[in-house]
Amino acid sequence: MARKHPHTSASGDRDLRVNPVFSREPLTIPRYALPAGELDPGTAYQIVHDELMLDGNARLNLATFVSTWAEPEALRLMSECAEKNMIDKDEYPRTAELEMRCVHMLARLWHAPDPRRAVGCSTTGSSEAAMLGGLALKRRWRERRRAAGRPADRPNLVMGVNVQICWEKFANYFEVEPRYVPMEGDRYHLGAREAVELCDENTIGVVAVLGSTFDGSYEPVAEIAAALDDLERRTGLNVPIHVDGASGAMVAPFLDAGLEWDFRLDRVASINTSGHKYGLVMPGVGWALWRDEDALPDDLVFHVNYLGGDMPTFALNFSRPGAQVVAQYYNFLRLGIEGYRRVQQTCRDVATRLAAGIGRLGPFETLTDGGDIPVFAFRVREDVGTFTVYDVSAALRESGWLVPAYTFPENRTDLAVLRVVVRHGFGHDLADLFMDDLRRVLPRLESQPGPQRSAAEAAGFAHGAEPKPAHRAPS
């Protein structure tokens, strides 16, 4: 006769009966309506947690420019400040003080003529910061036109067709004509001559991008400034520059100190950057700075009470968390000049090494090498007929890698590319694993009878590399 386990009875009455989490009432969880009653917090957590497991791994997302890694101490500070509202300067004066310290640090980093007079603010990201910069350009232009007794109803903004979509939104929301300079040949961003050709008396400014989302390249800000200086000498038109440094403004100061793109150029009126990109903060913070008070029209500034005094505020948003601003200040303290240099140099080293490795693979050729911001684009060689960039993107997704595939905009729509963004946390080891997976899928792709995917079937978000209509210069 079989022996019974000493801790059980024949009926199993001593077995521990625990209902599985998902059999707790209510048994049916509505997805698109509020439940009628409450849930146990553990049940609610488990439901949300388990569904989020189906998301991609953020560290393997090579499409996004946004930081996906932070030190535990930064995350702890963010958790401690999650409930602080950035707009409540009087209630949270130390958080407001940290914001102002970050502004002054950036003013010095970007060579403001007098960092004590530079004005700026934190934002929810570089899109909001860019719109603030655009609004200031529009208001300054309108004031000059009205002072001269001239009409101010047809403002335009000149930029490359490669600008991030936030500039298209700015033009739409604030009724400014966008004048996009198309790509031509091997020029994948804004050129100085092409920018000047589209400027006229209604141009509120030129947007120069320090780190194009399409291929990672810097636009020639100094050349554009020189061309606009020449335009003013010839015609009297005074056209300022806004530098969209969403990525590059937190890379160039540390790796390209001799590159003139910032407030060292008199023509640069304002700069924006993303603290949550190469500023190394988790998503939710950007920065907008103007070279001095004259560059920011006073009618864009609102005033709040701060420690019994007056503090100007000029963000588009109102309530937002202070946690990301605190994390930015932590990073500035934690890393300093040398720390940021080392982090960004490592990212650039990974990007250039990875780009070179991909370029040595037979089917691919690189358009850029990751030597500006640590971002590069590559394409399938024209003589390869069995697969497309869209096939490559889909094959890499099977291993968890998110690599966007997209076509370039007007005048280069023939060019379909893949783009890799190297961020802090994507080191040489992960780059090697990425290369292993890329090599692994190539034999299968090369044995296909022909391409299996097209642009219409492409999945994923290109993070700024969206097509826009180009503007033709008047003949």
Average confidence (pLDDT) over 44-51: 85
Long-range contacts of 384-387 (CB under 8 A, 24+ apart): 384/446, 385/450, 385/451, 386/445, 386/446, 386/447, 386/448, 386/449, 386/450, 386/451, 387/363, 387/445, 387/446, 387/448, 387/451, 387/452
- Please give the Cα distance from 216 to 420 (Å, whole number): 9
Cα separation of the two ends of the chain = 102
Q: What is the pLDDT of residue 307?
A: 57
Q: Where are the domains of the chain?
A: 75-334, 348-457
Task: Return all residues near 143 (Cβ < 8 A) that are at least 6 apart.
Answer: 297
- The position carrying tokens 């420019």 is 65
Mean pLDDT computed over 19-34: 67
Sole residue written with tokens 């949300």: 48
> Rounded mean pLDDT of 364-382?
97
Three-class SS state of 33: coil
Helix (H, G, I), strand (E, B) or coil at 327: helix
Comparing 157 with 12, the larger pLDDT belongs to 157
**CA distances (Å), origin 244, targets 133, 166, 262, 323, 415:** 9, 11, 10, 24, 24
Write down the CATH number for the domain with range 348-457: 3.90.1150.160
Residue 67, pLDDT > 60, answer yes
3-state helix, strand, coil in the chain (%, to 5): 35, 15, 45
Q: How confident is the model at residue 308 (pLDDT cuts 50, 70, 90)?
A: low
Residues 124-164 pLDDT 10s: 999 999 999 999 999 999 999 999 999 999 999 999 999 99
pLDDT band at 343 (very low <50, low <70, confident <90, very high): very high
- Among 28, 60, 65, CA closest to 43: 28
Express each pLDDT in 236-284 by its tens digit: 999 999 999 999 999 999 999 999 999 999 999 999 999 999 999 999 9
Taking 90 as the threshold, does the pLDDT of residue 310 lie above it?
A: no
* Higher pLDDT pick, 310 / 314: 314
Mean pLDDT of 72-88: 92
Task: Report residue 445 as tokens.
Answer: 């792709």
Q: Indicate the average pLDDT of the chain.
A: 90
Instruction: List all residues 6 or more positions away from 365 whose beta carbon is below 8 Å from its beta carbon.
Output: 359, 378, 379, 381
Rounded to an integer, the average pLDDT of 110-122 is: 92
Tokens coding 180: 């996009």
State the Cα–Cα distance between residues 64 and 58, nearest whole angstrom: 9
Which pair of tokens denotes residue 170? 């700015």
More confident residue, 1 or 30: 30
Cβ contact 341:254 at 8 Å: yes
Q: Which pLDDT does position 470 carry in this prediction?
A: 59
How would residue 299 be classed by pLDDT, with cut points 50, 70 and 90?
Answer: confident
- As a whole-number percent, the residues of the chain with pLDDT over 90 amount to 73
Ranges 11-15, 31-35, 363-367, most confident:
363-367
Residue 414 has pLDDT above 70, yes or no: yes
pLDDT over threshold 70, residue 309: no
Q: How would residue 475 be classed by pLDDT, with cut points 50, 70 and 90?
A: very low
In this predicted model, what pLDDT tens digit does every residue of 426-438 receive, in sequence order?
999 999 999 999 9
In the chain, the amino acid numbered 289 is L
Judge whether residue 471 has pLDDT over 80. no
Confidence of residue 20 (pLDDT cuts 50, 70, 90): low
Q: Catalogue the E-assigned strands of 144-236.
A: 156-160, 177-181, 203-209
User: What is the reported pLDDT for 97?
Assistant: 92
Q: What is the pLDDT of residue 56?
A: 87
The three-state secondary structure class of 117 is coil
Instruction: Between 383 and 303, name the one with better pLDDT.
Output: 383
Q: What is the distance between the alpha carbons of residues 13 and 290, in angstroms, rounded to a whole number?
A: 75
pLDDT tops 60 at residue 10? no
Specify the fold of 75-334. Answer: Aspartate Aminotransferase; domain 2 (3.40.640)
Average pLDDT over residues 75-104: 91
The pLDDT, as a whole number, for residue 465 is 57
